[in-house]
Each structure stands twice: as structure tokens, then as C-alpha cells.
Chains A and B, each alone.
Chain A
Amino acid sequence: MTNELIDRLSAELEPTPERALEKRLWLALSIGLVGTILIGPLVLDVLVGRPFGGAWGNSMFWGKLAYTIGLGTLGLIAVPALSRPDQYRIWPLLLAGALAVLALIVGTLGWMRSDWAMSVLMGGTALVCPWLIIVTAAPLLAVLLGMMRRFAPASPTMAGLAAGLLAGGFGAAAYAFYCGETSMMFMATWYSLGIALTALLGAIIGRYLLRW
């Protein structure tokens, strides 16, 4: 029985390239990003009615871009660190949490200076922002999780969480091009919430999909 299995497996053997896991991750990221970027013109512009470049020229646009890409990059570091059976490094996730807390503190200080005006916190799109970020991130998350089924994470849930952070961060960055909000507090609250929900979604799906 076992000998037959050994015969079969060694007959099926194909060479594995060096750093195969990282190469697959890059491939999934490239394909998924195309899908996520296409959500902009196809869904956000046409269906939701958000023109491209809603916050052009505002310094907060760059702040949003830096924050979201920063979180996405931490997710990108976390995925390979959590996709192997013999490795379980969660510091990129902890760092992402710390970054979100930092953004909330800075945002709260700004909100305080504007005398707790409700418009600074809520802007005009607070209640749709997190959901639209999830929608924008969804293609990237789907491609990532699909590719990660070939990996062997020590914890499928944590690997899914990392994939969700990666997709949520870059998804929110793509969404930022269609968002006209200009307050730090808005970003720290609603962008963070959208990315966190995407990460949570990734963790829930990963728990089942990434089992091996």
C-alpha cells in the first residue's frame, strides 16, 4: 500500500522552482490587483456614481494612500510568514494593529481640534465606505485565497486573516481614488473598519478553505 503510494508519487514528481511559494503569491497578487482595480471604473464609477479622483489635490488623499498601502504591505509580509507548516510569525499582523491604533489616535486629535464636529467623523459616505472597500478588495481576496490552497499554513485562520489584510489594504488603496473624504478621523475609522472586515472575512473563509 505505502510502497504503491511511493511509486506513484515518485513517478509524478516534477521539479519545484526555488522560492515557489513567493512566486505564486506574486502571481496571485498581480492577477487579483487587476480585478480590484477594475472594480473602480466598473462598479464604483458606473454603479455607485463615484468619479475617479474624488479627492485629487488634497493632502489627505496621499495620507489615505500611504496608510492603506502600508497595511496592505504588512499583509503581504504576513502571508508568506504564515503559509508554511513550520513557521508562525504574526508580528506583521501585530504591527498592522499598532498602525491602525496610531491612525485612530492622530485622527482623534484632529477631530478634537475641530471641536468634535460630527461631519469630520462621518463625512458624507461613512456608512457605505467599509462595504465598498470590501467589494473593491473582493477580487484580490478571492484570487489570493484560491492560490493559497496550495500552501500549508500552520494556522489556516491566521493565513486567511493575513490574506484579508493584504486584500483589504490594497483594495482600500484602489477605493481611495474614488473617495472624496478629506478628514484623518474619517480614514482612521472607516477605512480601518473596511480593511478589518475584509481581514475578518479572509480569516473566516481561510479557516475552512485553507485546511489541508
Chain B
Amino acid sequence: MQADATEKRMRELMLAALDGDAAAYRRLLAELTRYLRPWFAKRLSPSHASHAEDLVQETLLALHTKRSTYDRSRPFTAWLHAVAHHKFVDHVRRHAIRPTVHLDDDAPIFAFDDSAHAADRRDVDAVLTEVPERTADLIRQTRIEGASIAEAAARHGISETAAKVSIHRGLKSLMNRFAGGSK
């Protein structure tokens, strides 16, 4: 289960942080930010989207000042979820905001993370194993990482035309394989 792996990693970071490990603490806070931002954003209407960042900060601050209330024998993600939920309810009440998701809807925080869609990235990697390695690299660099064809070609020491042909063939074969043929 991915959630269990998240819990295990986060809890280890939290326990290290409670023992005074500042590096682990920094990593924990940075990782939590990635989960909290989309979680709050989903719960606010678009006109209040700017509040998500405030809520992330309020939650990190609460984690900091209230960290002694974390019982080390219990799941960390559940504790953090309760803190974030409390901050959200409090914020919504104080600002008289109409939330887009019902207050009692307790969708788990750790279901989504906005680190460039990790799951999508895994899918792309899996698909790209179907074409030759150099072609896969070229496609990744030009179509995902945003490099120009000239840059990608230079990196592999081939001409721009050869790179274009290679990318085109690669994409065509992937279309045939996964999309039932290109149109």
C-alpha cells in the first residue's frame, strides 16, 4: 500500500524531528507542503484559492507549536490530518468562507501529492520502455522536460533531422501500440 509507505516515511521523519534532527524536520515540512497544498485547494472555491497557501502555513506552524501533542505510538498521518482539518474548519469559520467540500468530508490528505504527478510520471516511464532507449530519451527531453529538438539532438550527438525522425517514429510506434493506431 502506498499510504502505508507514506505513513512509515513521514512517521520516521517526525520521530527524528522530535529528537531534534533539523534536517529530517525540514524534509518533513517540505514534503507535507506538497500534500497539503492540493488538499486545501480542493476544499476551497476558486475565488478563495489564494487561502490555500495561508492554510498550509498555518498547519505547518501548528505542527511546530503543537508537536508535543503527537503521541509517538500512534500514526503520524492521522495526527497531521486532524491538525490540518482543525485548521481548515477554524479558517473557514473565521473567514466565513463557503467550502467546496463538506466540512465532514475527511478525504485523506495523503491520497494526492502535487509533485508533478508522480503516478503519471511512472506511467510514462513504463510506456517509454517500449521504444529504443535513445528514442525514449529524446521523447522525454523534448515532450516532457521541454527541451528543444536542437538541444536534445546535441545531447545525443546526432543531427537535428535524425532526432526529429527518431522522435516521430517512436511516437508513431507508441500510438500503434497503445492508442490503436494514429489517425
Contact = CB atoms under 8 A, between A and B. Distances in A.
Q: Are A and B physically bound partners?
A: yes
Interface of A: 1-2, 5-7, 9-16, 18, 20-21, 24, 83-87, 150-152, 154, 211-212
Interface residues of B, number: 34
Nearest to A85: B82
A26 B67 CA distance: 18
A5 B25 CA distance: 12
A16 B18 contact: yes
Given A24-B68, A86-B79, A152-B69, A6 B60 contact: yes
A1 B55 CA distance: 12
A85 B80 CA distance: 9
A11 B69 contact: no
B18 A21 contact: no
A13 B78 contact: no
A12 B64 contact: yes
A9 to B, nearest CB: 5
Give the interface SS of chain B, mostly helix, strand, loop or mixed: helix
B60 A5 contact: yes
Given A6-B29, A85-B79, A152-B83, A16 B57 contact: no
A5 B61 CA distance: 8
Contacts of A212: 62, 65-66, 86
Interface of B: 17-20, 22-23, 25-26, 29-30, 33, 53, 56-57, 60-62, 64-72, 74, 78-79, 81-83, 86, 90
A175 B123 CA distance: 71
Contacts of A84: 69-71, 79, 82
A93 to B, nearest CB: 19
Nearest to A4: B57
A158 to B, nearest CB: 14
A174 to B, nearest CB: 29
A102 B83 CA distance: 38
A83 B69 contact: yes
Contact of B29 (A1, A9, A14, A150): A9
Contacts of A14: 20
Nearest to A10: B26
Given A5-B61, A152-B69, A15 B18 contact: yes
Contacts of B67: 16
A11 B22 contact: yes
